[in-house]
Chain A
C-alpha cells in the first residue's frame, strides 16, 4: 500500500501540472474549437520569465525561512503567470486574430500556431540558451517530507505543486461559472453568433480567454521548472501530454481537463509500475507513453468525446 501510495503521489504531482497546462488547451478550444499548438511555448516562457524574476531575489544554496519561501513561490507564480499571459495575448494577436479576420480554414490556425511554436522556442533558445537543463536556484530543501499519507511521504515541493494547482483550478472554475467574464466566455463557447448579438465583444472575450489560459500555463511552467528543469524545448512533451489529457477529459470542458490531467499523470505512474513491488512492474517504465496513449485511445473508442464530453458552456 505504501508503495502504491508513493507512485500515486508522484502521479498526482505530474498530473496537476498536466491539468494546469491542459486548461489552456481546453479554454481556447472551448471558444475557438481550435487546438492551440503554441500553448506549450506559453508554458515554456512562463518558466523562463519566472526564473528571470526570482533569480533577482534568491541565489543558489540559500536557506530561507518558510515565509520567505512562500513569498518567493508566490512571486514566481505571479511572474510566470504574467509572462505566460502576455505571451498568450501576443500569440492570439499575431497568430490567430489575423487568420480569423480572413476566415482562414481551420487547419491554417493549427499551422500558424505550429509556426509560432517553432519561432518562440527557438527565439528563447537564441536569447537565453539551448541547454536542455536549466535549474532554478535551490533556496529550500524541496525534497524534505512534510506529511505522510498511508505511509507515503509527500515532499514539500509535491505538496506545493498539488495544492497550488488545485487552488488555481478551483478559482478558474469559480471564475468561469460565477463572473461576468466567465459568462461571456461560456456564451462565446456555446454559440458565438448569438453571444455577439447579446452584446458580448467576441474579440475581447477570445483575447481574455487566451490570457487566462496563458496565466495558468505560465504558472505551470514555474512549477514544472522548480520541480524538474526548464529549457527552451521543455514545452513540447508536456504540451502533447496535456493536450492528450484535455482530450481525455473532453476537450473544451474545464472540469474534464482537470480530471483528464490528474488521471493521465496517475495512469502514467501507476500502470507501468504495477504491482508496485519493486520488480520493475509487469509492463515496465519504458512503456509509460505507450500506456498513456493506449488508455487515451481506449477511452475515446468507448467515449468518443472524452470522459466528461465536450463543451465549455455546458459543463460549468
Chain B
C-alpha cells in the first residue's frame, strides 16, 4: 500500500490483489445478507434485524456467495479464452432469462394461484387431475429446473468442447423444453379460464430459444472468438428488412394459431373459437370474413410479399408490401372493434364497451402486420443506403445506428411495442404506463435537453411540471380563484398556455442565474424548485389552495364536429394521447439535436469559453435550452393534472427532481433514446420489484441498481455517441492524472 508516484488506475488491486479482493467479497456478502434479511428491529431492540441477518446459519450461504464471487474474479482470467467463444453470450443471456422467468416472473394472473409465480404454479399444477398428463409432468417440481440445467449444461459443453453433434443435440433439447414449457402453460391458462397477461412462459421460451441459438452459433461458426456485431451486421447487410419479417412471422403464428382473441366470461377463445362463437350472430360481414378466412389469408399474403420483396430488394414490391400490411392492420382493427362491440352488447360478463375483453391475439396480429408494413418500408428505402454497408463494417466505433436498416428496425419494434403491448397488459400495468412511465419519459426527454445537450445541471426541473399542473388547474377552474368565464378551458387547450407560462418561468429563472456555472447553477435551480413547492403549500392569496390541492380537474375531451372523445378513466386512451404528445416532442427534438442550435449546445457543454470565442451567444443558447426543457415539463404537467384529476404540492417534491436527473444519466445523458430508456427502466423497476421484495425495501434495491449501473456502465444504458467517443478518448490517454481527478467535463469547466 505504499505510495508510488507513477501509478496506473487500479494498480493497487494488482499490488495486493487477493487480500483486498477477498475482503471486498466478504463485505459484499455481509451487505447482501443485510439486504435480504428480516425487516427492521423494534424500538426496544435496535439490533434485532442486524443480529438475525448476520448471526445464524443463513450467513453461511451469503459467505458462500462472497467466496464464489471471489473465485470467479480470481480465476476469471483463466477461462478468458472460453468467454470469447461464439455462443457464450447468447448462452449467458438465455440462461439468465430462464432463471428470471422461473423465479421472478408471473406465470398466471389468476388469483387462484397465490402469487402466480412459477414455483407456486408448478406445485399446484402438478397435483391437478384435470390437467393433461404432458403438462402435469412438466410442472412436477424438480423437473423443469432439471430440464433447464441439463439443456444449459449441454449447451455449455458444446461450446467449450466445440462438438458440432453435441451442439445440435443442445439445439433440439432447448427448443423442445422451451416449447414444452410454453405448451404446458397454455394448457394451464385454458384450464384456469381467466384472461392471462403473464409473461413468464413467453420469457422462458425466449430464454430457451436463446440457448438454442447459442448451440447453433457454436455449431455454425468457424471462428475462434465471437463477433456478435459482425454477425448482426451480416444479417442486416444480407437482406435489410428480413429480420423484421422473421419477427412478424413469429408474432403472427402465435396470434393466429395459439393466442386468445376474445375472452368473455372467463373463457379464452382462440381465433377459431371466436369465429365459431360469432358465426350465428349479427356480426358485420367483413369482420366475420376476417375471423373465418380473410385474416389468415391477409397474414400469409403480406408475409409472403414482404419476404419476397426483402429477398429481391425490390422497392416497388416493398411499397406494395407496406401498403398491404397497413391495409391488413386496419382490417384487423376493424374486426377487433366489431367483435368487442358486439360482445359488449350481448352483455358478456365484464364487458363495458368496445375494446373490452379482447385477448392478446388481435394485438399480436396487429403488431405483426405493422412490422410487415415496416419491413416493406425498410426495404423500399434501404436501396439508397446500399453503398454504406461496406464502410460501416470496418468502422470500429460503429454504433447500432450505423448498421443499415438496423435503427429503423429497432424504432419499428419499439413503435409496435408501444402501440400494441399496452392493450395486452393488465389494468395495473396500463395505469403504471400512463401515470408513471409515460410521464417520466416525457420529463426525461425535456431534461435531457438541459442536462444532456446543454450541460446545465438542473435540480429543480419538477418546478416547471408543477407550474404546468397548476396552470391547468387554474384554467379549468379547479382552484379557489376562478378564471373569468371566457377563459375557462378544456385541459387539452391548456397545453399551449402551459408551454408559454413555463417558457416565461424558465427564462425568468434562467436570465439572472445562467451565468453561474456547474454546481452553483444546480443549487440555484434546486432552490427554485423548493420555492415553487413551498409557494404552493403556503397558498399566497389563496391561489393554490395550499396542501389541500386542486380537486376536480376534468378529464381531457375533444368535441370537434362529429368527433367526440372523452378520455375518462381509461388508461389506454391516455396512453395513446401520451404517445402522440411524446412522438411530436421526439420528432421536434430529433431535428433540434442536429440543428445549429444543437451544435451550439454541444459547444458550450464542452467548453463554454471556446464556444463564446467562436461567436456562440452563450446566454441566449442556454436560455433556449432552459426554456425548451421547461416547456416540455409543463406539457407533462398538463397531462398529469388532467389525467389524475387531483394535484397537491406533494407531487412536486425535490426528490422527484433528483430522480429525473438520475433517469437521464442512468439512461445515458445526451442521448434521446437513452434518456427515455433510463426513465422507463427506473420507473418500471419499482413496480416490478413489488412482487419480488418487501415494498419497504424497494428504494434500497433501486439505489443499489443505480449505483451498480454507474460503476459498471458510467455512460448509461444507451450512451450518446458523442460521449462514447469522449470516454473512449479518456481510456486511450489514461494517464494517472486524468483518471485520478475527473476533468471538469464541460459542466461549466470548473478546472
**A touching B, CB within 8 angstroms:** yes
B41 lies within 8 A of chain A by Cβ: yes
Q: B517 touches which one: A95, A192, A290, A304 (CB < 8 A)? A: A304
B3 lies within 8 A of chain A by Cβ: yes
- In the complex the two chains form, is B662's CB within 8 Å of A192's CB? no
- In the complex the two chains form, is A293's CB within 8 Å of B527's CB? yes
Q: A108 touches which one: B4, B5, B524, B665 (CB < 8 A)? A: B665
Known: A118-B702, A296-B527. A202 touches B736 (CB 8 A): yes
- In the complex the two chains form, is B5's CB within 8 Å of A197's CB? yes
Known: A32-B741, A123-B700, A251-B519. A131 touches B710 (CB 8 A): no
Task: For A119, give the chain B residue with the smallest CB separation.
Answer: B703
Known: A122-B703, A202-B736. A52 touches B730 (CB 8 A): no
Cα of A115 to Cα of B45 in the assembled complex, Å: 28
Chain B contacts of A111 at CB under 8 A?
Answer: 661-662, 665-666, 706, 710
- In the complex the two chains form, is B35's CB within 8 Å of A100's CB? no
Chain B proximity of A109: nearest CB distance (Å): 7
* Segment at the B interface, from A7-15, A139-147, A213-221, A240-248: A240-248
Known: A204-B3, A240-B654, A293-B528. A103 touches B734 (CB 8 A): yes
B747 lies within 8 A of chain A by Cβ: yes
Q: B41 touches which one: A114, A129, A290 (CB < 8 A)? A: A129
Residue picked from A33, A51, A203, A301, most chain B C-beta under 10 Å? A33
Task: For B733, give the chain A residue with the smallest CB separation.
Answer: A103
- In the complex the two chains form, is A118's CB within 8 Å of B742's CB? no
Known: A129-B42, A203-B12. A193 touches B739 (CB 8 A): no
Chain A proximity of B251: nearest CB distance (Å): 36
* Segment at the A interface, from B198-206, B231-239, B434-442, B508-516: B508-516
- In the complex the two chains form, is B519's CB within 8 Å of A105's CB? no
A102 lies within 8 A of chain B by Cβ: yes
- The A-contacting residues of B in range 498-530, CB under 8 angstroms, are 512-513, 515-517, 519-520, 522-524, 526-528, 530
- In the complex the two chains form, is A104's CB within 8 Å of B654's CB? no
A137 lies within 8 A of chain B by Cβ: no
- The B-contacting residues of A in range 19-76, CB under 8 angstroms, are 29, 31-35, 51-52, 55
Cα of A290 to Cα of B531 in the assembled complex, Å: 5
Cα of A107 to Cα of B740 in the assembled complex, Å: 16
- In the complex the two chains form, is B703's CB within 8 Å of A118's CB? yes
Cα of A127 to Cα of B742 in the assembled complex, Å: 35
- In the complex the two chains form, is B750's CB within 8 Å of A33's CB? yes
B147 lies within 8 A of chain A by Cβ: no
Known: A101-B9, A106-B747, A304-B515. A126 touches B697 (CB 8 A): yes
- In the complex the two chains form, is B534's CB within 8 Å of A104's CB? no
Give chain B's interface secondary structure class.
Answer: helix
Cα of A193 to Cα of B37 in the assembled complex, Å: 44
B329 lies within 8 A of chain A by Cβ: no
B705 lies within 8 A of chain A by Cβ: yes
Task: For B43, give the chain A residue with the smallest CB separation.
Answer: A129
Known: A188-B741, A201-B3, A293-B530. A127 touches B41 (CB 8 A): yes
B57 lies within 8 A of chain A by Cβ: no
- In the complex the two chains form, is B524's CB within 8 Å of A296's CB? yes
Task: For B537, give the chain A residue with the smallest CB separation.
Answer: A286
- In the complex the two chains form, is B49's CB within 8 Å of A105's CB? no
- The B-contacting residues of A in range 86-127, CB under 8 angstroms, are 94-95, 98-112, 114-120, 122-123, 125-127
Known: A103-B734, A126-B39, A128-B49. A286 touches B526 (CB 8 A): no
Known: A108-B710, A111-B666, A129-B40. A286 touches B538 (CB 8 A): yes
Contact with B along A288-305 (1 / 0, CB 8 A): 011011101100110011
Q: A101 touches which one: B10, B726, B737 (CB < 8 A)? A: B10
Chain B contacts of A131 at CB under 8 A?
Answer: 43
- In the complex the two chains form, is B739's CB within 8 Å of A101's CB? yes
Cα of A301 to Cα of B514 in the assembled complex, Å: 9
Contact with A along B706-732 (1 / 0, CB 8 A): 110111001100000001001100110
- In the complex the two chains form, is A29's CB within 8 Å of B742's CB? no
Chain A contacts of B742 at CB under 8 A?
Answer: 32-34, 100, 103-106, 109
A287 lies within 8 A of chain B by Cβ: yes
Chain B contacts of A300 at CB under 8 A?
Answer: 513, 516, 520, 523-524
Q: B703 touches which one: A115, A200, A286, A305 (CB < 8 A)? A: A115
Chain B proximity of A137: nearest CB distance (Å): 12
Give chain A's interface secondary structure class.
Answer: helix
Interface size range on B against A? 35 or more
Cα of A101 to Cα of B42 in the assembled complex, Å: 41
Cα of A78 to Cα of B47 in the assembled complex, Å: 20
- In the complex the two chains form, is B740's CB within 8 Å of A100's CB? yes
- In the complex the two chains form, is A110's CB within 8 Å of B744's CB? no
Task: For A301, give the chain B residue with the smallest CB separation.
Answer: B512
- In the complex the two chains form, is A297's CB within 8 Å of B12's CB? no
- In the complex the two chains form, is B534's CB within 8 Å of A128's CB? no
Chain B contacts of A247 at CB under 8 A?
Answer: 519-520, 523
- In the complex the two chains form, is A107's CB within 8 Å of B35's CB? no
Task: For A245, give the chain B residue with the smallest CB separation.
Answer: B523
B75 lies within 8 A of chain A by Cβ: no
- The B-contacting residues of A in range 123-178, CB under 8 angstroms, are 123, 125-131, 134
Q: B707 touches which one: A29, A119, A122, A244 (CB < 8 A)? A: A119
Chain B contacts of A116 at CB under 8 A?
Answer: 703, 707
Chain A proximity of B199: nearest CB distance (Å): 27
Chain A proximity of B3: nearest CB distance (Å): 4
- In the complex the two chains form, is A98's CB within 8 Å of B700's CB? no
- In the complex the two chains form, is B658's CB within 8 Å of A114's CB? yes
Cα of A11 to Cα of B727 in the assembled complex, Å: 46
Cα of A31 to Cα of B741 in the assembled complex, Å: 8
Chain A contacts of B699 at CB under 8 A?
Answer: 118, 122
B691 lies within 8 A of chain A by Cβ: no
- In the complex the two chains form, is B710's CB within 8 Å of A123's CB? no
B349 lies within 8 A of chain A by Cβ: no
B466 lies within 8 A of chain A by Cβ: no
Chain A proximity of B7: nearest CB distance (Å): 8
Chain A proximity of B606: nearest CB distance (Å): 12
Chain B proximity of A78: nearest CB distance (Å): 19
Chain B contacts of A29 at CB under 8 A?
Answer: 519
Cα of A32 to Cα of B537 in the assembled complex, Å: 37
B592 lies within 8 A of chain A by Cβ: no
A199 lies within 8 A of chain B by Cβ: yes
- In the complex the two chains form, is A127's CB within 8 Å of B744's CB? no
Chain A contacts of B487 at CB under 8 A?
Answer: none
25 contacts between A and B (CB under 8 A): A95-B710, A99-B710, A100-B741, A103-B742, A110-B661, A112-B710, A115-B705, A119-B700, A120-B703, A123-B34, A126-B39, A129-B46, A131-B43, A193-B737, A201-B3, A244-B523, A289-B531, A289-B534, A290-B534, A290-B535, A292-B527, A294-B527, A296-B527, A297-B527, A300-B516
Given known contacts A95-B710, A108-B715, A290-B535, what 7 new A-B pairs fall within 8 Å (CB)? A106-B744, A112-B714, A118-B699, A120-B703, A130-B40, A240-B530, A290-B530
Which A positions have Cβ atoms within 8 angstroms of B?
29, 31-35, 51-52, 55, 94-95, 98-112, 114-120, 122-123, 125-131, 134, 188, 192-193, 196-197, 199-204, 206, 236, 240, 243-244, 247, 251, 286-287, 289-290, 292-294, 296-297, 300-301, 304-306
- Per CB-CB distance, the 10 closest pairs between chain A and chain B, nearest first, are A118-B703, A115-B706, A293-B527, A104-B714, A119-B703, A122-B700, A112-B710, A103-B730, A201-B3, A115-B707
Which B positions have Cβ atoms within 8 angstroms of A?
3-5, 9-10, 12, 34-35, 37, 39-43, 46-47, 49-50, 53, 451, 457, 512-513, 515-517, 519-520, 522-524, 526-528, 530-531, 534-535, 537-538, 654-655, 658, 661-662, 665-666, 669, 696-697, 699-700, 702-707, 709-711, 714-715, 723, 726-727, 730-731, 734, 736-742, 744-745, 747, 750-751
